[in-house]
Structure 1
Amino acid sequence: MHPIFDLEPAATAMAAVVGAIADEQLTAPTPCADTSVRDLLAHVIMLTEASRQAATKEAVGRSVPPAVGPETALPDDWRARIPAQLKALVEAWRDPAAWNGATEAGGVSAPAVVMATTALNETVVHSWDLALATGQRPAADPSIYRFCSNSSVTHRPKAHRACSAPSCRCPTPPELDRVIGLTGRDPAWTR
């Protein structure tokens, strides 16, 4: 199967947000309930690697649910590691074989197309989380937001909805607000 979408616009947007985060912002809260910027960066490190392994199918039968929270270590090299892992993630999902069959990430098995869509949604949403928490504006190709808003995030594997709230407060926002609202977050969240 040929790739349905390219993760590069979302990955590039996330790398830009991560690159602008200052050390003093690591303790700031994020729109992801009870999660600091530091905690979310640690999650992004695990997420990008798990999603890359889902593309290569190297973790099938061995993946485990991700740890999230203050007990999860944030490596000292996070500023270099996250962009590198995002590039590897993009390349892995560019391989047509990545889109075939079932795969696994975070202890959840699903069709590869679902895992790729989950990786895209998580990248877009966590870019938004980190951007707002650190006073930035997330940016990506609007077609990515449209794709995310048209792919039902409620159909993502349960393990990948860990920091989603139960309802959307914005019934008809622009594409990015709609994506954010579908996760249960408030698109009007402020620091």
Structure 2
Amino acid sequence: MLDLEPAAQEVIRLVGGITDDQLTAPTPSTDTSVADLLDHLTGLALAFTWAARKSAEDVPGASAPPPPASADNLDPQWRTLLPARLDELVEAWRKPDAWTGMTMAGGVTQPAEVMGMVALDELVLHGWDLAKATGQQFHCDPASTEAVLAFTTESARPEQAAGREGLFGPVVPVPADAPPFDRALGFAGRDPNWTPA
């Protein structure tokens, strides 16, 4: 079991520092604004909560792939809605049975332990995206860094190329002696030195 709370709390902290005039700013995620990313995070928090509870099959439409993230779909109450959903996400994955069996999120069925890892990876990488886009510092706890590095390293193996589709961009070369989090970013297709154009 992984603890999603440190990563979720970091996203919540970052959300609190976003100003309205930053919503249209670009992020390291290609063709994605801050508002688009907030919409994505709001949706994925809910989807991965359902995944932990094994309840997606009971929610109309939850078994279909999610619509593309869009600022047009961002809930006007995102400043309170997103933190509340992230808190629910953390609690859902604290239950041991969340990590057992098979489960579904966004139209994809996988072993629950893999889905939990994907949830952590999404929180960490998109937290970093938000921080870079809005000029805030990003902090990743050591356990989450280790888990995400292992996950992105595995995804970067040539035989995993098909599995990367839609999850990560092409690997960005990062020195082998770079900090662990920078290497995780590179394997996830992100440039650790990204800055807004």
Structure 1 length-normalised TM: 0.91
Q: Distance in 2 between matches of 1:96 and 1:156?
A: 31
Task: Provide closer, same or farther for how the CA distance between residues 93 and 63 of structure 1 changes in structure 2, counting only shifts above 3 A.
Answer: same
Pairwise CA distance, 1:55: 0.1
CA contact (8 A) 2:39 2:70 kept: no
Q: Deviations over 1:3-38 (max 9, x none)?
A: x21100000011001111000000000000000000
Partner of 1:145: 145
Paired residue secondary structure (2:57):
coil
In the TM superposition, 1:117-128 aligns within 5 A as: 117-128=117-128
Partner of 1:177: 182
Partner of 1:133: 133
Pairwise CA distance, 1:146: 1.2
Pairwise CA distance, 1:147: 1.5
CA contact (8 A) 2:40 2:70 kept: no
Deviates more, 1:131-140 or 1:105-114: 131-140
Partner of 2:168: 164
Task: Provide closer, same or farther for how the CA distance between residues 182 and 11 of structure 1 changes in structure 2, counting only shifts above 3 A.
Answer: same
Paired residue secondary structure (1:76):
coil
- The alignment of Structure 1 onto Structure 2 pairs a total of residues equal to 187
Letter in 1 for 2:113: V
In the TM superposition, 1:37-56 aligns within 5 A as: 37-56=34-53
CA contact (8 A) 1:43 1:66 kept: no
Letter in 2 for 1:78: W
Partner of 1:16: 13
Letter in 1 for 2:186: G
Deviates more, 1:107-116 or 1:141-150: 141-150
Pairwise CA distance, 1:183: 1.1
In the TM superposition, 1:45-84 aligns within 5 A as: 45-60=42-57, 62-70=62-70, 72-84=72-84
Partner of 1:99: 99
CA contact (8 A) 2:103 2:112 kept: yes
Letter in 1 for 2:102: A
Pairwise CA distance, 1:119: 0.1
Q: Deviations over 1:29-77 (max 9, x none)?
A: 0000000000000000011100111000100384221222436500110
Task: Identify unmatched segments of 5+ residues in structure 1.
Answer: none
Task: Provide closer, same or farther for how the CA distance between residues 58 and 23 of structure 1 changes in structure 2, counting only shifts above 3 A.
Answer: same
Structure 2 length-normalised TM: 0.88
